[in-house]
Structure 1
Amino acid sequence: MAHLIEITSADDPRLADYRDLRDVQLRKSLEAEHGLFIAEGEKVVRRAVERGFDPRSFLMAPRWLDGLEDVLSRADVPCYVLDEQLAEEVTGFHVHRGALASLHRRPLPSVEEVLAGARSVLVLEDLVDHTNVGAVFRSAAALGFDAVLLSPRCADPLYRRSVKVAMGAVFALPWTRLDDWYDAMPMLERAGFTTVALTLAEDAVPVPDAVHGVDRLALVLGSEGPGISERWQRSASRRAVIPMQAGIDSLNVAAASAVACYVAAHR
């Protein structure tokens, strides 16, 4: 059972895991140093624990204790209880979902482990917005993709904002980072995948045509601004586009991922 500890000061040193959650640079440094990540909200906290992530501690307002009683009963860690105004002082924002958990990160699996048995894989190159990364994970999980690979410069899927937007999908979907960015497409082809890059290139064909007849698919999406790099576009075996109307040339990468994943799931 978690140990309930009442907190009366925002300066309490035991709250270090939860301090300044909106300071991205600080959080990157702190979370990497201590091997932790933050889950926010009752559903996300529950899903993290149910997926086997070990909690370091919990932080919540009293009204959330009953709703998470079953989760707290399985964890022999501190649960810091404080009012919502004090929680805002600690975290730097209004924790309107009431509950937070600090959990241990796991070592990332190898690319080979993530690809084993996968038929549909999403490959992300340099997505730097945590909200977009979370939304892409949510679409991939909801639409039947088996795994996600990220280039070295992609935003962290376990950053609090990514986890929140994904509604815990980052816990359910196997993922890891690519060690070799340059030869990622040839590597996937050697592993038996057909690589399909979502791009505005002149030779791109509509997504349904690009994925037709493909067994093991690696669907590739690029960064929010420039899109997929020239290297990845050239080395992908196929290039695909979502046909647009009314003079619109593209969608936000999160929306594009949902459309492309839906089409790919019905190939």
Structure 2
Amino acid sequence: MAPEIIHIDSLDDSRLDAYTRLTERELRSVLELQKGIFIAESAKVIERALAGGMEPISFLMGERWLDSLLPLLETLDTKESVPVFVAPMELMERLTGFTVTRGALAAMRRPRLEPADAFLRGICEHAGERPVRVCVLEGIVDHTNVGAIFRSAAALNVDGILVSPTCCDPLYRRAVRVSMGTVFQVPWTRIGSEARAWPHDGLDALHGAGFSCAAMALTDDSVPLDDPVLQHEPRLAIFMGTEGQGLGAKTIAGCDRAVRIPMAHGVDSLNVAAASAVAFWQLCPHVDNAYHYQPGRY
């Protein structure tokens, strides 16, 4: 259905609350109790979100951007018309951080996440005979790092990402922006029922699905990243830990092996986002895999 263009001259309209007044926590739960919503910024991110099957609730943009975005908006396949709020640029500039949105915002419904076991089964079935690589994010609290990891995962052929109970939200506004919308390209879900049960329930799910678990950690018995055994694992889960502390002791002990990135000049480790990119490059198949598994589509 064609979008509904609505020109506005005030940000006080209650229909704009998602953009102007609600906190990230409120966005996750207040407007849609079961799924919540998230905000996508910029035409590129919005395009990738729509291509990834995200459902738009509304759009908000400066008037100079309408003509360039209209062709994309006219491709919307929705049962009801989606409002597109268009405002003078001087009004939009009052929004905090609007200068980094590149002209457009979209409020979208959060997707319903698959249970980890069904998610892993779907990824493996979609991969067929080729090796499968997933990444597990444990307790990462910086949204910039999460967004950067997703971007590297999309670029370097990771099949899926699993997020622990203590890891921050991949659909947080900054994480989405830093990822350049790749959070909608790389399949992901939550793993583990709650923080106090982690990592046992997560490790059980991965081992039950046939994955070998590799902890990126500096231990006395860690193997180098280029160990041939890693490359030949048919199903491998790469665990990345929180900033500063890294993976928890129970997680390292529960994994099948610890893995280190060899360093020079006395440097002991990399930032988790940089380390993930190095690990993905070494351990993921170097093939074009533009068509990722998409939960619920196979």
* TM-score, normalised with respect to structure 2: 0.83
CA distance in 2, matches of 1:92, 1:8: 19
CA distance in 2, matches of 1:6, 1:37: 23
Q: Give matches, 1:151-230, under 5 Å.
A: 151-180=164-193, 181-183=198-200, 184-209=202-227, 211-230=230-249
Q: 2:84 aligns to what?
A: 79
SS at match of 2:95: helix
Q: Deviations over 1:125-153 (max 9, x none)?
A: 00111111011011112111111101011
1:19/1:92 contact within 8 Å kept: no
CA distance in 2, matches of 1:186, 1:239: 17
Q: 1:120 aligns to what?
A: 133
Q: 1:30 aligns to what?
A: 27
Q: Give matches, 1:32-111, under 5 Å.
A: 32-34=29-31, 35-75=36-76, 76-111=81-116
Q: Deviations over 1:237-267 (max 9, x none)?
A: 0100111111111111000000000000159
CA distance in 1, matches of 2:96, 2:15: 13
Q: Which runs of 5+ in 1 are unaligned?
A: none
- Runs of 4+ displaced beyond 4 Å: none
Q: 1:260 aligns to what?
A: 279
Q: Deviations over 1:137-181 (max 9, x none)?
A: 111121111111010111111111111111111111111111342
1:20/1:92 contact within 8 Å kept: no
1:87/1:95 contact within 8 Å kept: no
1:198/1:220 contact within 8 Å kept: yes
Change (3 A) 1:74 1:266: closer
CA distance in 2, matches of 1:148, 1:48: 17
1:2/1:73 contact within 8 Å kept: yes
1:93 CA displacement: 4.1
1:190 CA displacement: 2.2
2:139/2:241 contact within 8 Å kept: yes
Q: Which runs of 5+ in 2 are unaligned?
A: 125-131, 287-298
CA distance in 2, matches of 1:33, 1:113: 28
Q: 2:128 aligns to what?
A: none
SS at match of 2:134: strand
1:89 CA displacement: 2.1
CA distance in 2, matches of 1:159, 1:11: 24
Identity of aligned residues (%): 47
Aligned-residue Cα RMSD (Å) equals: 1.7
